[in-house]
Amino acid sequence: MAKREHWGSKFGFVLAASGSAIGLGNIWKFPYIAGQNGGAAFIFVYLICIAIVGLPVVIAEILMGRTTQRNPVGAFRKLSGSKFWTAIGGLGIIAGFIILSFYAVIAGWSTGYMIEALRGTFSTLRTASDASNHFNSLVGDPTWMIGFYAIFFIFTMAVVFLGVKDGLEKGSKIMMPILFIILVILMIKGISLKGSEAGLAFLWNPDWSKITGQSILIALGHAFFTLSLGMGALMTYGSYLDKKSNIPNAAVQIVLLDTLIAIMAGVAIFTAVFATGQDPAVGPGLIFNTLTVVFGGMTGGYIFGLLFFILLTLAALTSSISLLEVVVAYFVDERGWSRHRAVLILGSSVFIFGIPSALSFNLLADYTYNGKTFFDIVDFIASNVLLPFGGLLIAIFVAWIWGFDKALIELKHGAENIFKDRSGLIFAFKVFLKYIAPVMIFIVFLHSIGLLESAIEQVKNYWIILVLVIVMLVIILSRNRMNK
Ligand code: TRP
C-alpha cells in the first residue's frame, strides 16, 4: 500500500481545517441569522454552543482520524469492528457528497458575483428591490447558474487533485491569509463609515428578549455546520496528522479562528448595513440583496464589492475542498483508487448530482415536493438530518463505544503537557463529551426534523415511563462498567 499522505506541518493542518470550517456558513449565513435573531444576545448563545458542544466534538473527530489514519468508514471499522458503526461512517461520505453538490451551487453565485462586481453592476442598484430583481434574473438564468457552478467546481477538483500537501495545505496557506487581509480591510472600511456605531451596538448590546428556544436551537445547529462537524470532514483531515501533533491545542485554534472570522464578517457587514440604513433582518438575501446596494452607494464601493465577493468565494473554496476530500479519501483508502482517478470520477459525479439543485432556481423551480425544490430537499436531508445525526453518533461513539478512557489515552499523545496533573480538565471534557454534547445534539436533531414539539408533548404524557427507562439504562450501564 502506498504510504499515507501527511500534512507538512501542524500549522498547515490548522489552516486547512480552519479553511474547512470557515466558509459560506461564517460569511453568508452567520451574519443573517444573527441579524434575524437579534444580534448580540444570539451571538452570546452561539459562543456558548461553540464552546460546550462544538469544541468537544471537534476534538473527538480529529482524534478518530488521527488514531486510525483512515477515512470515516475505515475509522469506524477499525475502532469498532462492527457493521453498524462502519455504516455510520458511510453516511458521512454520503453527506459529504450531498452537501458539496448544493454548497457549490451557492458558491457559484458568489463566483458569478465577482464578475458582477467587475462589471460595475452594483452602482446601478439603488434599492434592495433593484438588487433582488437583479439577483432573481441571474439565478433564473440556467446558463449563468450552471456556468459559475461548473467554474467553481473545477477549482475545487483541481485543488483536491493536487493532494494533501500540495493541494489542500498549500491552497489553504495561500487562500486563508488573503481571506483574512480582505476581511480586515472590509472591517476597517465598515467601522469608518458614518453611522456605523448603530451596527456595532447591534452586535454588542444584547436584547435578551429576542432569545427563544428556537433561536438557541438555531445557534446550536449553526455551531455544528460552521465547524464542519458531523460527517467526518475533520476526521479525514485528522487522518493526515501524525501522533506527535497536539490535538486539543489545534482544535482550540481552529474553533477560535472560525469564531473570529464569523464575528469579523458580522462587524464588516452590519456596520455597512446600519450606516446606510438598510434592514439587518432580511434573512438569506442579506448579502446578495442588501450588501450589494450598500456597495453601490459607498465611495470605493467598486473595489470593496469586488473584494467582498473574492472573500466569499475563497472561503467557500477552502470548505468545498474538504467536502470533496472526504469522498475521495474513502475511495482511495477503501477501494484502492488513485487520488487522481477518485477526484475525476467522484468530482464529476457530485457535479452531475448537483445540476438539479442549480436548476431549482429556474427550470425546475416548479417541480416541488411539499413546497420544497430539489435544492431545498437535499439541503434539508444533509443539514438537518445527516449532520446532526452523524454528530450525535460520533459523540456517542467516542464517549461510550470506543470508550472515553481509551480515547483519552490516544488524545494524550502529543498533548502530555496539557493533561498532566489536570484531572479537572479531563473531568470537564468527559462530562461534555459523554453527556452534554449528545443530549444537546439530540435535541437539535429532533428540532431539525420537526419532531421536537411533539416529543415534548409525548414527554408530558409519558414522563413516568421516560423516567423509568432512564433509571433502567443507568442501572444497566453502571453494571456493565463494574463487570469490566
Ligand atoms: N463549515 C463550512 C461553512 O461554514 C461548511 C462545511 C465544510 C461543512 N465542510 C463541512 C459543513 C462538513 C458540514 C460538514 O461554510
Nearest residue (by CA) to ligand 1, atom 7, is 319
* Mutation to probe ligand 1, out of 99, 159, 259, 317 (largest number of atoms < 8 A from CB): 99
Count helices and strands (H / E) in the chain.
24, 0
Ligand 1: does its nearest atom lie under 6 Å from the Cβ of 225?
A: yes
C-beta of residue 46 within 8 angstroms of C-beta of residue 33? no
Residue with cell 460546550: 52
Ligand 1 centroid distance, CA of 475 (Å) = 38
C-beta of residue 25 within 8 angstroms of C-beta of residue 261? no
C-beta of residue 359 within 8 angstroms of C-beta of residue 274? no
**Residue 165: count of CB within 10 angstroms of its CB:** 15
Nearest residue (by CA) to ligand 1, atom 13, is 228
480 confidence band (pLDDT: 50, 70, 90): low
pLDDT surpasses 60 at 484: no
Q: Distance (Å, rounded) from C-alpha 144 to C-alpha 45?
A: 39
Ligand 1: does its nearest atom lie under 6 Å from the Cβ of 233?
A: yes
Nearest residue (by CA) to ligand 1, atom 10, is 228
Helix, strand and coil content of the chain, in percent to the nearest 5, comes to 80, 0, 15
For ligand 1, what atom is nearest to the CA of residue 227?
1
482 confidence band (pLDDT: 50, 70, 90): low
* pLDDT tens digit sequence for 226-269: 999 999 999 999 999 999 999 999 999 999 999 999 999 999 99
Q: For all residues of the chain together, what is the average pLDDT?
A: 92
Ligand 1 centroid distance, CA of 312 (Å) = 14
392 confidence band (pLDDT: 50, 70, 90): very high
pLDDT surpasses 90 at 421: no
Nearest residue (by CA) to ligand 1, atom 8, is 228
* pLDDT tens digit sequence for 3-50: 899 999 999 999 999 999 999 999 999 998 998 888 899 999 999 999
Strand-pairing partners, residue 57, are none
What integer pLDDT is reported at residue 2 of this predicted model? 62
Ligand 1: does its nearest atom lie under 6 Å from the Cβ of 21?
A: yes
* pLDDT tens digit sequence for 290-307: 899 999 988 899 999 999
Integer-rounded Cα radius of gyration of the chain: 22
Q: Please state the rounded mean pLDDT for residues 178-193.
A: 95
Q: For the whole prediction, is pTM greater than 0.85?
A: yes
Q: How far is CA 467 from CA 140, 225, 322, 474, in A?
A: 53, 32, 42, 11
